[in-house]
């Protein structure tokens, strides 16, 4: 799957990262403002003067010789999604770490790593573009291309939380 858009949940107004695949399946992941800002930065929509936590983690992994092989969202319980980050250490050893889905997705974007979502997660928490959520406007100007187009952010978009 890929990060295809950043949006706002039309029911709760929470920031949402939308994952989609080639078969029109969609998984909305509610995140905080910090996470959606980090994703927007990785997609080239905004720039920060200083590295954020995710860039720091990616830099530390790189310096240690570890690479992000892939991330997977593997389970769902109610509204809670569970994710893992699959790493390959400098020694060649493969390790798996539990993660919040938002953190895993941001590291995957930074590393250019594959994003996987288990079928059971899509069955329980995902949607297809032709299901009952089709009338919701999940996108904010997304063209459907690999490059995500987001609305312009002004200097005061994030208020006192600007980084």
DSSP string, 32-90: -HHHHHHHHHHTTS---SS--HHHHHHHHHHHTT-EEEEEEEEEEETTEEEEEEEEE-T
| Domain ranges for the chain | 2-135
CATH 3.10.690.10 fits 2-135, yes or no: yes
DSSP state of 113: -
In this predicted model, what pLDDT tens digit does every residue of 54-73 receive, in sequence order? 888 998 999 999 999 999 99
In this predicted model, what pLDDT tens digit does every residue of 11-32 receive, in sequence order? 888 899 999 998 889 999 999 8
Residue 27, strand partner residues: 19
Report pTM.
Answer: 0.74
Q: How far apart are CA 13 and CA 30, in angstroms?
A: 10
Tokens 């400098």 locate to 90
């Amino acid at each position: 799957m890929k990060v295809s858009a950043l949006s706002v949940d039309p029911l709760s107004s929470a920031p949402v990262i939308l994952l989609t695949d080639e078969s029109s399946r969609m998984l909305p992941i509610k995140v905080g403002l910090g996470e959606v800002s980090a994703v927007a930065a990785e997609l080239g929509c905004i720039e920060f003067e200083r590295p954020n936590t995710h860039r720091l983690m990616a830099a530390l992994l790189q310096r240690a010789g570890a690479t992000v092989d892939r991330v997977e969202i593997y389970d769902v319980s109610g509204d809670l999604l569970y994710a893992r980050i699959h790493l390959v250490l400098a020694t060649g050893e493969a390790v798996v770490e539990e993660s919040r889905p938002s953190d895993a997705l941001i590291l995957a974007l930074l590393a250019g790593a594959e994003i996987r979502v288990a079928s059971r997660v899509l069955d329980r928490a995902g949607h297809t573009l032709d299901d009952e959520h089709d009338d919701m406007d999940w996108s904010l100007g997304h063209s459907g291309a690999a490059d995500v187009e987001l609305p312009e952010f002004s200097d005061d978009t994030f208020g006192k939380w600007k980084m």
